[in-house]
Amino acid sequence: MRIISDMPIMQPPPCLMVILNDVLSDIVAKGEVIERYYNPDDVFKTVHIVLVNNDKPDLASLVKIAGQAQLFIHNLPPWHQFIWRTLGCRQWLLRKWALPAVSLAGKIRPSIIRCFGVGLNGWLALEIKRSLGIPYIVSLHTHPDANIQLHSPRLKERIRQHLFASTDCLVLKNAEKVIPVYHAIASYLRRLNVTQYTVLHNVINAPFLYKKERYSIDGVAKVLCVGQQILGKNPENLLRAIATIANIHLTLIGDGPIHDKLIVLSNKLGIADRVKFVCTMPNDILCSDLHNYDIFAVVNEYPGISKAMLEALLCGLPVIHNRIKGYDVRELESCSALLVDNTEEAYRIALIKLISDEALRLSMGTSERLYAEAQWEPKRLEEEYASIYRKLIAIQNNNENKK
């Protein structure tokens, strides 16, 4: 594994290029590097990660993300004052900006390009396809319409979303496959008349998940809440509910702009000794410890289902989840999780109900686990991702042979 300086010509097939806007160092710092995440079922012999930023991630920490493939990292920093230099994302100027990425892809000749989300990385994939005929796949991990409605982004972010709206649509319509990672995102794709999509949930850290076997509570009920601490996932009502119940301890794993506010609130409620704040935790450790908790509580106004909740369900941990206004969340409709309104009273009632009834906890946990295994068993999901790649590689090889 190394950073490329002098580019080799033509990587041995099959070869994957992953183009990311993300700062990979943040993923490493959070301990969220999952084995074969970029190379499901070891389909590819080489994986090239192209970062559209100046991030220099710790390479040793990324080894397992590409499985058995040889891993290469490249940086294509966006232009300084990008919006101005492209006159508000004019496509002819965006094409000029994309030339280094097209040149890089021409040297590597990947079999497929993968983008996680749209934006600059999606535009690069589109330009590479236009120039070199290399197919690309886009996965969507958020619902853009819901983000605007619920997140109330700052003016800068709203301007960015407006400027990229037309290019994002082009990127999605020209992708060989679009993969929304939960069902609610499909409504956004249908609005754009994007039809070539398949819903596939995130593959999670299966080797470190342990089936919950014991549902008795030893004196103090241990409740876990995992997620970004932002307005759309504000666990304030959960904290207030905890304050009204004796013999309960809450662990909050996550960070974000309201983190300090939540600490202040826990002190004000007099429960600082019963609430533990953990900004980050390696995913291996989190997953391996899930079965030791009694309840998993979710506060999330965004449509869909989080990776953390998938992990809890597959473990068999009883889940409390708030209802999501304005969206049908198919993943929750047939699940045995307790669905509540996002109010202090609703969380209080749900917590008391679960804490006081071991049989209910056992029934819920078992039912959730069986349902989750049928829907999101990690190995099966990995194979489905691999199958999409293999089909596109076969089509690409067939087209090459016809030339």
pLDDT of amino acid 81? 47
Residue 253 has φ and ψ, to the nearest 5°, of -110, 120
Residue 221 phi/psi, 5° resolution?
-75, 130
Given this model, what pLDDT does residue 222 score?
Answer: 98
pLDDT confidence of residue 150: 61
Cis bond before residue 14 (omega within 30° of 0): yes
Strands, DSSP E only, in 81-190?
112-116, 136-140, 177-180
For the chain, the straight-line distance linking the first and the last C-alpha, in angstroms and rounded, comes to 34
- Residue-by-residue DSSP string for 279-333: S---HHHHHHHGGG-SEEEE---SSS--HHHHHHHHHT--EEEE--TT---HHHH
Q: In which residue are the tokens 């508000």 written?
A: 88
Of 227, 279, 361, which is closest to residue 238 (Cα–Cα)?
A: 227
- CA distance linking residue 93 with residue 171, whole number of Å: 16
The per-residue pLDDT for 7 is: 47
Place of tokens 């996002």: 342
Q: Which residues pair with 115 in a beta bridge?
A: 19, 138
79 CB-near residues (< 8 Å, 6+ apart): 85, 86, 97
The amino acid occupying position 13 is P
Please say whether the structural domain 7-200 has been given the CATH code 3.40.50. Answer: yes
For residue 12, give the 3-state DSSP assignment: coil
Measured distance CA(365)–CA(132) in Å, rounded: 50
Strands 295-298 and 221-226: parallel
Strands, sheet with 275-278, edge to edge from the N-terminal-most edge strand: 275-278, 248-253, 221-226, 295-298, 319-322, 338-340
Number of H helices, E strands in the chain: 15, 13
Averaged pLDDT, groups of 10, the chain, 403 residues long: 43 86 87 91 95 87 92 79 51 75 93 91 93 96 74 58 76 96 93 95 89 94 96 95 96 96 97 96 93 96 90 96 86 88 97 97 96 93 96 83 67
10 Å CB burial of residue 341 (0-12, 13-18, 19+) is middle
8 secondary structure, DSSP code: P
Residue 90's pLDDT is 62
Would you identify the CATH topology of the domain 206-376? Rossmann fold (3.40.50)
Of 291, 286, 328, the residue nearest 307 (C-alpha): 286
Sheet holding 2-3, edge to edge: 2-3, 70-75, 46-51, 15-20, 112-116, 136-140, 177-180
What does residue 322 show for φ and ψ, rounded to 5 degrees? -75, 150
Beta bridge partners, 180, equal 140
CA distance 21 to 168: 14
> Which residues, listed in sequence order, are joined to residue 251 by a DSSP beta bridge?
224, 276
CATH 3.40.50.2000 domain locations along the chain = 206-376
Euclidean distance between CA atoms 341 and 345, whole angstroms: 9
